[in-house]
Amino acid sequence: MRRLLMGLAVMAAVLPVCAAGQEIVLTAAQRQALNIKVGKVEAATSLPLDGLPATVRAPHEGSAVVTAPFAGVVVAVLAREGQAVTRNQPLVRIQSREAMTLGADLAAARGDYRVADAQASRDRQLHAEGIIPAGRMQAAEARREAAAARLHELQAARSTAPTPAGGAPGIYELRAPLDGRVVERAVRLGEPIETLAKAYVIARRDRVMLELHLPARYAHALRVGLPVHVEGGTEGKVTETGGAIDAPSQTVLVRAEVVTEHLLPGQQTTATLLLPAPPHALSVSSSALAERDGRYVLFVAAAKGFTPVPVTLLVQTADGHSVVSGTVAAGAEVVISGAGALKAMPQGGG
Q: Domain limits of the chain?
A: 2-45+279-344, 53-61+206-274, 63-203
CATH architecture of 2-45+279-344: Beta Barrel (2.40)
Indicate whether 338 pLDDT > 80: no
193-222 CB burial, b ≥16 within 10 A, e <16: beeeeebbbbbbeebbbbbbbbeeebbebb
Other residues' Cβ atoms within 10 Å of the Cβ of residue 50: 17
Average pLDDT over residues 34-50: 88
Is 300's pLDDT higher than 80?
yes
Tell me, what amino acid is at 232? Answer: G
Give the Cβ contact number of residue 331 at 10 Å.
10
Lowest mean pLDDT among 27-31, 58-62, 235-239: 27-31
The pLDDT value given to residue 160: 81
pLDDT level of residue 68 (50, 70, 90 thresholds): very high
Question: What integer pLDDT is reported at residue 192 of this predicted model?
Answer: 96
Which band of pLDDT confidence, cut at 50, 70 and 90, is reported for residue 6?
A: very low
Q: What is the pLDDT of residue 341?
A: 75
Question: Average pLDDT, stretch 115-144?
Answer: 91
Mean predicted lDDT score pLDDT of the chain: 85
Banded pLDDT at 29 (limits 50, 70, 90): confident
Say whether pLDDT at 306 is over 50: yes
Q: How far apart are CA 347 and CA 23, in angstroms?
A: 8
**Between 26 and 13, where is the model more confident?**
26
In whole angstroms, give the CA distance from residue 142 to residue 124.
Answer: 12
Please determine, for residue 58, whether its predicted confidence score (pLDDT) is greater than 60.
yes
Separation in Å, CA 330 to CA 36, 43, 110: 20, 5, 79
pLDDT digits (tens, 9 = 90+) for 253-296: 999 999 888 888 889 999 999 999 888 899 998 888 888 777 88
* 326/73: higher pLDDT: 73
**Residues paired with residue 173 on neighbouring β-strands, in sequence order:** 93
Looking at the structure, give the CATH architecture of the domain made up of residues 53-61+206-274: Beta Barrel (2.40)
Residue 40 β-bridge partners: 333
Give per-residue pLDDT as tens, 201-260: 999 888 899 999 998 988 888 999 999 998 777 889 999 998 889 899 999 999 999 988
Mean pLDDT of 334-341: 81
19 pLDDT higher than 50: no
**Is CATH 2.40.50.100 correct for 63-203?**
yes
SS3 of residue 311 by DSSP: strand
CB within 8 A of 229, min separation 6: which ones? Answer: 235, 271, 272, 274
Confidence (pLDDT) at 344: 63
> Cα separation of 63 and 54, whole Å?
20
